[in-house]
Copies of this chain bind each other. A is one copy, B any other.
Amino acid sequence: MDSARPAPQLPLRERKKLRTRQALVDSALVLFTERGFDGVTLDELCDTVEVSKRTFFRTFTSKEDVACAPLHDLWTAFLEELEQARPQGGPLHELLRDVLLGTLDRMPGEEWAHRVLLSRRLAARNPSMDAHGLAFCDRTGRAALDIVVRRFELGGVPDDPDHLRARLAVDLLVAAWHRGLDSWTTGAPAPERAALAAAFRRASAAAPESLALTARTGPA
């Protein structure tokens, strides 16, 4: 596999597992892109990678899951970095933004970005993939909130107003991320990772502005 980062010598068993996983993701993205998500059965995918369906389901939770893997990897890494982050006293939403930008920067690079691109284009055409991705982000949001609450804020009283505020800050991060993804996925010009980071930064900056936006009376 092109992205088989050996990693500091994991046990052989683990490496094999990772290689199978990556092969499944790559093949899935290619096949789904060629013939559509519904146009490919799991049996076909498994045949291609020469793995039994049983094994597939030990690695991924569902057919959607394998195609969402690139984003999955990003958010998992994000949570790890958030766990390490040291706030400098700035606004929480800026901290979250910077942690995500940092995580993005440390992603495998352009092949990863390419996989994300394929994954998003697929999701745009397939409701169940879209739903899966959304649900995953939501779960990650909850996990992120737990970390934020534990490390940066109040002890954990769930009806503390700051708890709600922190949750909304996380929601805003996720929303900005999705808007960044949207414009990056749609706008063909620059499918590089840097362009994605820029799009996200732009969306993130627009969040405070959106509150000031006035509803003008339209012509109708």
Question: Is A166's CB under 8 angstroms from B217's CB?
Answer: no
CA A141 to CA B93, docked complex, whole Å: 22
* A92 neighbours in B (Cβ, 8 Å): 210, 213-215
* A166 neighbours in B (Cβ, 8 Å): 210, 213
- In the complex, residue of chain B having the shortest beta-carbon distance to the beta carbon of A220: B151
* A206 neighbours in B (Cβ, 8 Å): 161, 164-165, 168
- The quantity of this chain's copies bound in the complex is 2
CA A132 to CA B170, docked complex, whole Å: 21
* A86 neighbours in B (Cβ, 8 Å): 217
Whether a CB of chain B sits under 8 angstroms from the CB of A208 is yes
- Interface residues in A33-85 by Cβ distance below 8 A to B read none
**What are 9 contact pairs spanning A and B, CB under 8 A?**
A90-B215, A92-B213, A131-B135, A148-B215, A151-B220, A153-B216, A169-B213, A171-B178, A208-B211
Query: Footprint of B on A, CB under 8 Å?
Result: 86-87, 89-93, 95, 127, 130-132, 134-135, 138, 148, 150-153, 158-159, 161-162, 164-169, 171-172, 175-176, 178-179, 183, 186-187, 202-203, 206-218, 220
